[in-house]
Copies of this chain bind each other. A is one copy, B any other.
Amino acid sequence: MSLATVTVATEPPYPVRIGPAALEALPNAVASADRVALLADERVLDLHGASLAALGEVPTLAIGGGEDAKTLGKLGAVLEFLAAAGLARSSTLITFGGGTLADLGGLAASLFKRGMQVVHAPTTLLAQVDASVGGKTAINLSAGKNLAGTFHQPAEVLCDTSTLATLPAAERASGLGEVVKTALIGGEADLALLEAQADGLLAGDAAALAATVTSCVTVKARVVACDPTERGPRRGLNLGHTFAHAIEHVAGYGAVPHGVAVAAGIGLALRASAELGLLTDPALEARIRALLERLGLPADLSALRQSSGLALPVDELMAGFAHDKKGAVGRPEFVLVSGAGALELGVTLEVDLLQSLLA
């Protein structure tokens, strides 16, 4: 299977290469750097480090993945590592692991000497379809998720789909939450493609995974290129995320995988859209619910409460909206849906409606 390449048309543009041997392109991706360093998930390095052999010896920092990676302390460790490795503005940092590694490494790269290049080699479905493309970087604060970060586009992204074979089932499910979101944003063709490939995705079929990643990256690249710093249409990519961030905040970071929280958030956004009479296609809500359930994802809060064993109390979720990054003070903003590929951005919801949705 050859590599697919999607170009993200930011300034400058960069390629996302997708396929079962994408890591072979890594030496070429860092060829212009005067020095290279590697930030890797220690588990991924054990499983797939051999795929990086062509790089030769490079200074490496291996850390645990997951939300624990996204702390101020870890950011400091990466920055000191880059300094100790003697990197310059003209060097490149490679991240190798899930979305949290890309978020953390991307932030460190954007800050080190006020900006050096980063190349992402994402190894989870979630990171390949979402986190590693678009340049958002972040760490968490005690008050909320992703509250400190930058926009820093990578120089290249290599989505090696062969790394997805070793992905734990829960991680794959988490990625599928973002896949559903992206297909819903993309429109009818993306949604139909995803429905046709759902069984292949669940079975870990290589062709289905590569096709799905390519489809999602194509949608995301289109949105990011026209709005790299999220002042306008890019806000649509936050579909389900205002709900998801409140869920993750209340659950404790890492307790509910991000994509699983997003799945429930998509269900909630569709419910709100239906309640407000926004849906022009009345069958869409049931269709997405069915797709989420088929992929093993919660389509609402009761399903999430059941599968996670967490109470997720309404009042705590309401308070969790306080740190939505997009809205103004005290006014969290939601992305709602009128149809496949048709969104309503920056919607403020009444407290009564929110409380009934979260009940």
Residues of A within 8 A of B (CB): 34-35, 72, 75-76, 79-80, 83-84, 86-91, 110-115, 136, 138, 141-144, 147-151, 229-230, 322-323, 325-330
Contacts and interface: CB of A to CB of B under 8 A. Distances in A.
A328 B229 CA distance: 29
Given A79-B147, A80-B143, 19 more contacts: A34-B328, A34-B329, A72-B75, A72-B79, A80-B141, A83-B141, A83-B144, A84-B143, A86-B322, A86-B329, A88-B327, A90-B329, A91-B329, A111-B148, A114-B138, A114-B149, A114-B325, A115-B150, A115-B151
B148 A79 contact: yes
A283 to B, nearest CB: 36
A150 B115 CA distance: 7
A201 to B, nearest CB: 31
A76 B76 CA distance: 10
A273 to B, nearest CB: 24
A82 to B, nearest CB: 8
A159 to B, nearest CB: 24
A111 B148 CA distance: 5
Given A114-B150, A328-B34, A141 B79 contact: yes
Nearest to A113: B325
Given A87-B329, A328-B34, A113 B72 contact: no
A88 B144 CA distance: 13
A147 B90 contact: no
* A-B residue pairs, 6 tightest by C-beta: A83-B143, A113-B325, A72-B76, A111-B148, A88-B329, A90-B328
Contacts of A138: 114
Contacts of A148: 79, 111-113
Contact of A88 (B88, B89, B229, B328): B328
A111 B107 CA distance: 9
28 contacts: A35-B329, A72-B79, A79-B141, A79-B148, A83-B141, A83-B147, A84-B143, A86-B322, A86-B330, A87-B329, A88-B325, A88-B327, A88-B328, A90-B329, A91-B329, A110-B150, A111-B149, A112-B147, A112-B148, A113-B147, A113-B148, A114-B136, A114-B138, A114-B149, A114-B150, A114-B151, A114-B325, A115-B151
Given A138-B114, A148-B111, A329-B88, A323 B83 contact: yes
Nearest to A72: B76
Contacts of A91: 329
A136 B115 CA distance: 12
Contacts of A87: 329
A227 B187 CA distance: 41
Nearest to A144: B83
Contacts of A90: 328-329
B80 A142 contact: yes
Contacts of A80: 141-143
